[in-house]
Structures are given as structure tokens and as C-alpha cells.
Amino acid sequence: MKYGLIAASLGHSFSRELHAMIDDYDYRLQEVAPAELPAFLERRDFIGINVTIPYKQTILPLLDQVSPEAAAIGAVNTVVNRDGRLTGYNTDLDGILALLDHMGASLAGKKVLILGTGGTARTARAAAQRLGAAEIRLVSRTGRGGAVTYGEAAEQCSGAEFLINATPCGMFPHLDDSPADLSPFPLLTGVADVIYNPLSTRLVLSARQRNIPAEGGLYMLAAQAVAAARLFTGRDYPDGLTEQIWRRLLQDKRNLVLIGMPGCGKSSVGEIAAAMLNRPLIDLDREIAAEAGCSIPDIFAREGEAGFRRREAQAAAYFAGQTGLVLAAGGGTILSPRNVEALRHNGFLLFLDRPLRELIPTADRPLSDTADKLAQLYRRRFPLYRAAADAVVPTAESAEATAQRAVQVFTKEQSHEAIDS
């Protein structure tokens, strides 16, 4: 490995494909156990590497020298081998500063809470100091090292105006986790989360539900990678490269999630849209039936609606953690707020709005197998679809025309978010 990323675990990483967008060097991922780290560095058989959890601080004494900036922070995430001497740098600082600038966040004169006390938290503190924060408090479970505990933060820091999560809490595959409840901090004007997988953590989604501007760590990831590549190669890259990479990653990773009434065409439209986008199609009902080894009506007959909903929630949670999909949700998936939140981690929810008069009851749908049942279902669910949807597409005369419109809306919205978020 000449270039790459080392960590104890790398199942969540986008870094290899990201670096392929920057330059043509061969960037690889390598898991290194803590006991193996000294020997790995001693071999010096790389040109440049990035370092992530849990080595950003433990790597310091194993290097020949450390940049003044990284030494002041006390954390390294980039190591360059120059003639056998290993030098450590901190390009996470570039990344966090770029993310905050991208958000339009002003920390000058503000009270800032930083969740975590590790290498990334130290870097976030340096960024907040550079941006003129009036007060910075680190928060940890134990409260050691000058930090406050989460309980103390809730009691003592209600005036916090900006929050940065620098812990791995909420990172794939633990999408249900969140490092903090935001309700004790009513004055927050922004939340930044360094986690980029999922695209929107539970913390970010919680902030947005409170109308607090919030962003995940994808932009930070792109910015720190460009800064690391400059150190690896000695080349200068265009100023707009970070924005270009972030936009492409966002468009590639976000799922297109189709929601709507039974019979509105989610499966057929999804199949065409998936082909247009060159993505896999996941039909949630088909996946549930395959896992159960029987049809949906059989699941209802054997386990009742409650049993089916349990299976549906499990399937929604699993596929919500994946990226780059077209996902056709079941008609009732949005009945559970938890399902909607799960789908929003990586998904753009598009409501296929077919009028009731065009919906047809079918025997294979137990909850809408008669016209009366279908009409009642429509009246109950329509407002839920509208509330869950990021956008609405009225169905057209053909599945092809609807799919074309769905893809247009999806790609336009992703591009708009990449420019204006």
C-alpha cells in the first residue's frame, strides 16, 4: 500500500472512492490492530496515509516529527513518508473549517459545545478557537480531562449556541444511536456532526426537526481528503475541487426512496428509475416476502398486521443504512415515524401521488382488497405521505413517464442541495 487509510475498523469508509476523484494514485483501505500499529509504521512501506479511529492520538509518539499545528492540537490524521522520515499532519482541521464555512456558521462570540474528547474533538476545539468562539466546553461520558459530563452539560450549558459532535456515536451501522438530546439547549443556532455515514445522523435529523441548521460530515471528509492529497503528492488542486467532490458523493450515495399508496406504481416506476440511474432496486415488500419465505398475504394470515409491521421495520432499518439505492417502500412503511426517520438517514423521500380514482383494489393486498378499504386507507394515509415526502410527483399515464419525472426531481433536488445547503 503506497497510499491509503488505516484504522481498527473500516466498514463505514467512503475514502477509497473519494481519493479516486482527486487524483490517480492507488488509495487503499487497511485495517490495523492496535498491537500491529508500531510495526506497520516501522516498515515505512507507504508514501502517504490517513489515520482514523482510534489512532489519531496514539500515533503521535511513533512519528519522527509532527507539524506545529498537529502538535498544538494533539492529534494527527495524515502521515507522509519523506525519505524514510514520517511526518504527521492534521488535515481534519481543514475539513472542519471548510464544513463550518459551507454551513455559513459563525462561531465568533458564541458558546460552543463539542461532544467528545478524542483527536477529532481536539481538532474541533482548535477550529472553534480559530473562529473566535467566546466559550468552548468539551463533553464526555466521564467528564475527565476538563470536560463536563452529558448530565452536567444539560444543567450548566443551556446557553450553548453551536454544537459539534466529534464522537462516533450514530455512525453506521449504529444508526439509531445519538450522542445527545438537544432539548436542554434551546439557543442552538447550528449543529455539525463529523460523521458522514450515514449522510444524516439521528443527531442531524433531530436538529432539523427543531428547525436548527444542521449538517453531517461529508463536506468535511471531502475537504480533509483534498488537503491530505496535497501533502501526499505536492500538487496543487483547484479551489473548487472540494465542492465538486462533495456534490458527486452526495448524489452517488443518497437513496431515492419511493413512497405512496398500494398500487400507485412504486415497483414499476422504481425498476425504470433504477435502470436510468444505474442503481440497484430494492422492493421492500419483495424483500420481506423473501425473508419470510412466503407471500405478504400469508404473513398477514399467520402473524397478523403487527407481525408484518415488525418485519417491515426490520427491513426498512436494514436498507436505510445502505447507500446508492432506489428503494420502493411498502404502502404502509411511513405509518411508523421510526421508519421515516430511518429512511431519511440516507434517503430522499419521493411521494408518487396517484389519485384515488386511479387506484385499483387487488386480492394480494390484505388492507386494500376492496374499494371501500382502499378509500379508507387513502384518506388516512394521504396526509402521512405528504408529511414524510421531500418532494411529490403526480403519476403520469405511463410508468416510464413517471420514472423520468421522478429521476428529474431527484437529480435536481440533489444538485440544488449541493449548491444551497
- The answer to whether 3-90 and 254-415 have equal CATH topology is yes
pLDDT digits (tens, 9 = 90+) for 361-407: 787 777 877 888 889 989 999 999 999 999 999 998 899 999 999 99
Phi/psi at 140 (5° precision): -145, 170
Peptide bond into 366 cis (omega under 30): no
Q: CA–CA separation, 70 vs 125, rounded Å? A: 13
- Give backbone dihedrals phi and psi of 388, rounded to 5 degrees, phi first: -80, -25
Mean pLDDT of 273-300: 95
CATH class of 254-415: alpha beta
Q: Of the candidates 283, 402, 278, which has an alpha carbon nearest to the alpha carbon of residue 350?
A: 402
Does the structure show a pLDDT above 90 at 144? no
Percent of the chain with pLDDT over 90: 88
Q: Is the pLDDT of residue 339 over 90?
A: yes
Average pLDDT in the 78-97 region? 97
- Please list the alpha-helical segments (H only) found in 23-116: 37-43, 68-73, 92-103
Query: What pLDDT does 362 receive?
Result: 81
Task: Tell me the helices (H) and strands (E) count for the chain, helix number first.
Answer: 15, 17
pLDDT at 417: 55
| Residues 345, 199 contacting (CB under 8 angstroms) | yes
Cα-based distances in Å from 136 to 178, 194, 264, 301: 21, 17, 51, 57
pLDDT at site 416: 54
Query: What pLDDT is recorded for position 367?
Result: 80
Homologous superfamily (CATH) of 94-220 is: NAD(P)-binding Rossmann-like Domain (3.40.50.720)
**Does residue 65 contact residue 84 with C-beta atoms inside 8 Å?**
no
> Grid coordinates standing for 349?
423521500
Gap between the Cα atoms of 66 and 187, Å rounded = 38
Write out the DSSP string of 347-381: EEEEEEE--GGG----TT-TTSSSHHHHHHHHHHH
Q: Which three cell numbers stand for residue 254?
A: 443518497
Cβ atoms of 131 and 107 closer than 8 Å: yes
Instruction: Using CA atoms of 243, 404, 263, 357 in order, give the dihedral in degrees to the nearest 10.
Output: 120
Q: How many residues does the chain have?
A: 421
Q: Tell me if 118 sits within 8 A of 57, measured CB to CB.
A: yes
C-alpha grid cell, residue 418: 449541493
Instruction: Please report which residue ranges of 23-173 form alpha helices under DSSP H.
Output: 37-43, 68-73, 92-103, 119-130, 150-156
pLDDT digits (tens, 9 = 90+) for 227-267: 999 999 999 999 899 999 999 999 999 999 999 999 899 99
**Domain 3-90 of CATH type 3.40.50.10860:** yes
Q: How far apart are CA 22 and CA 230, in angstroms?
A: 10
Provide the residue type at 352 as one letter.
Answer: L
Report which DSSP code applies to 63.
S
Q: Count the Cβ atoms, other than its own, within 10 Å of residue 326.
A: 28
- Does the pLDDT value for residue 418 go beyond 70? no
Q: What digits encode the pLDDT tens for the residues 57-73?
A: 999 999 999 999 999 99
- The pLDDT score that the predictor gives to residue 13 is 85
Least confident of 155-164, 345-354, 367-376, 395-404: 367-376
Provide the pLDDT for residue 420: 43
Q: What is the pLDDT of residue 239?
A: 87
Determine the average pLDDT of the residues in 18-27: 95
pLDDT at 208: 97
* Whole-structure pTM value: 0.92
| 3-state helix, strand and coil shares in percent for the chain, rounded to the nearest 5 | 45, 15, 35
The pLDDT value recorded for residue 421 is 40
For the segment 137-145, the average pLDDT, to the nearest whole number, is 91
Q: What is the overall mean pLDDT for the chain?
A: 94
Task: Using pLDDT thresholds of 50, 70 and 90, give the confidence band for residue 109.
Answer: very high
The pLDDT of 35-49, averaged and rounded, is: 96
Residue 256 in 3-state DSSP?
A: strand
Q: Which stretch of DSSP H or E encloses residue 343?
A: helix 337-344
Domain ranges of the chain: 3-90, 94-220, 254-415
Please report how many Cα atoms fall inside a 13 Å half-sphere around the Cα of residue 173, on the Cβ side: 7
The set of catalytic residues is 56
- In the block, residue with C-alpha cell 405478504: 296
Count CB neighbours of 128 within 10 A: 24
Query: What percent of the chain lies above the pLDDT cut of 70?
Result: 98
Each residue of 166-210: pLDDT tens digit?
A: 999 999 999 999 999 999 999 999 999 999 999 999 999 999 999
Bond preceding residue 394 cis, omega within 30 of 0: no
